[in-house]
């Protein structure tokens, strides 16, 4: 593991309350360096998504620790974790998770405004990011008026527009056809490299492997 890893996860154990009888994570370890793109590869139920949730502070492991830039998530409060996600993390979800009532650019601007940008700066930054992803001309469409691939590009724009240190992407290709899925993954990795953002992708899609710096196999809640 490189010294000064951006993400440093140790011996993570997590069991979902009232849901499973077994641990979803069983002593998972993971390090991710700044700007590094890592693929967490594993079958359904292997613990990939749970690991993403724990790494991003959405779930708190019952055992083990997660350090982001040296800060142990267990030592900071809920409000600080929320602020950390807003300021330093970007998220790409399997089903895009766009807000249906907002236009594409508004989905991107929403987070930029929440992060403290002025309305004008948010508008300019969102437009530039959507342009970079090739959907600037569709910025005023509602999500329902966009194809799956376009929606995922809006989701990537939303994740990257605020220039996060880390992007967490959960199965970013699985809701798309083969070509669209690969295009989305390629754009995510390319734009992240441009922004020097670390990316942690959870996916069972082997085709993503050539796009990333490192592949980590996740099996039965452990990383190898």
Residue with tokens 């005023």: 140
How far, CA to CA in Å, does 204 sit from each of 49, 57, 105, 194?
Answer: 11, 22, 30, 25
Q: Give least dist CB 101 to other proteins, A.
A: 4
Q: Quick one: tokens of 161?
A: 């527009």
The mark string for 164-193 relative to other proteins (x by CB under 8 A, - otherwise) is ------xx--x-------------------
Is residue 14 close enough to count as binding other proteins by CB under 8 A?
Answer: no
Task: Assess 110 for contact with other proteins (CB under 8 A).
Answer: yes
The minimum distance between CB 122 and other proteins, in angstroms, equals: 11
- Measure Cα distances from 224 to 39, 45, 216 in Å: 12, 16, 6
DSSP state of 76: S
Number of helices (H) and strands (E) in the chain: give both, helices first: 6, 10
Stretch that binds other proteins, among 23-31, 77-85, 121-129, 146-154 (CB under 8 A): 77-85
Buried b (16+ CB within 10 A) or exposed e, 130-145: bebbebbebbebebee
Residues 33-52 contacting other proteins, CB under 8 A: 49, 52
19 in contact with other proteins (CB under 8 A): no
Judged by CB under 8 A, the stretch of 19-27, 61-69, 100-108, 183-191 that binds other proteins is 100-108
Task: Please give the backbone phi and psi of residue 194, each rounded to the nearest 5 degrees, phi first.
Answer: -60, -35
Of these, 46, 94, 151, 180, which contacts other proteins (CB under 8 A)? 94
Select from 34, 76, 86, 215 the one that contacts other proteins (CB under 8 A).
Answer: 86
Q: What angle in degrees, to the nearest 10, is found between the helix axes of 119-132 and 148-161?
A: 130
Q: How far is CA 169 from CA 4, 16, 77, 119, in A?
A: 22, 21, 24, 27
Select from 18-26, 103-111, 123-131, 184-192 the region that touches other proteins (CB under 8 A).
103-111
> CA-to-CA distance for 123 and 54, rounded, in angstroms?
32
Part in contact with other proteins (CB under 8 A); list of ranges 23-31, 102-110, 190-198, 212-220: 102-110
Q: Which of 31, 106, 183, 195 binds other proteins (CB under 8 A)?
A: 106
- Smaller CB separation from other proteins, 1 or 114: 114
Distances 143 to 13, 106, 149, 222 between C-alpha atoms, Å = 37, 10, 11, 36
By CB under 8 A, is residue 23 in contact with other proteins?
no
Q: Contact positions toward other proteins, by CB under 8 A? A: 49, 52-53, 56, 58-59, 79, 82-87, 89, 91, 93-95, 97, 99-102, 106, 110-111, 113-115, 158, 170-171, 174
């Amino acid at each position: 593991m490189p010294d000064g890893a951006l993400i440093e996860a140790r011996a993570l154990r997590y069991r979902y309350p009232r849901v499973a009888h077994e641990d979803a994570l069983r002593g998972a370890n993971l390090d991710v360096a700044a700007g590094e793109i890592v693929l967490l590869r594993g079958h359904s139920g292997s613990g990939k998504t749970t690991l993403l949730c724990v790494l991003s502070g959405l779930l708190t492991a019952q055992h083990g620790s997660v350090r982001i830039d040296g800060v142990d998530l267990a030592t900071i409060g809920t409000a600080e974790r929320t602020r950390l996600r807003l300021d330093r993390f970007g998220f790409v979800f399997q089903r895009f998770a766009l807000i249906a009532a907002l236009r594409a650019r508004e989905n991107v601007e929403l987070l930029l405004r929440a992060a403290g940008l002025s309305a004008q700066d948010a508008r300019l930054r969102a437009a530039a990011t959507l342009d970079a992803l090739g959907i600037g001309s569709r910025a005023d469409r509602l999500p329902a008026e966009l194809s799956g691939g376009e929606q995922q590009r809006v989701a990537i724009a939303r994740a990257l527009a605020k220039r996060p240190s880390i992007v967490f992407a959960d199965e970013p290709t699985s809701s798309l056809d083969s070509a669209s899925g690969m295009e989305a993954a390629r754009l995510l990795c390319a734009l992240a490299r441009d922004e020097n953002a670390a990316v942690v992708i959870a996916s069972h899609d082997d085709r993503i492997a050539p796009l990333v710096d490192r592949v980590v196999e996740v099996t039965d809640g452990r990383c190898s």
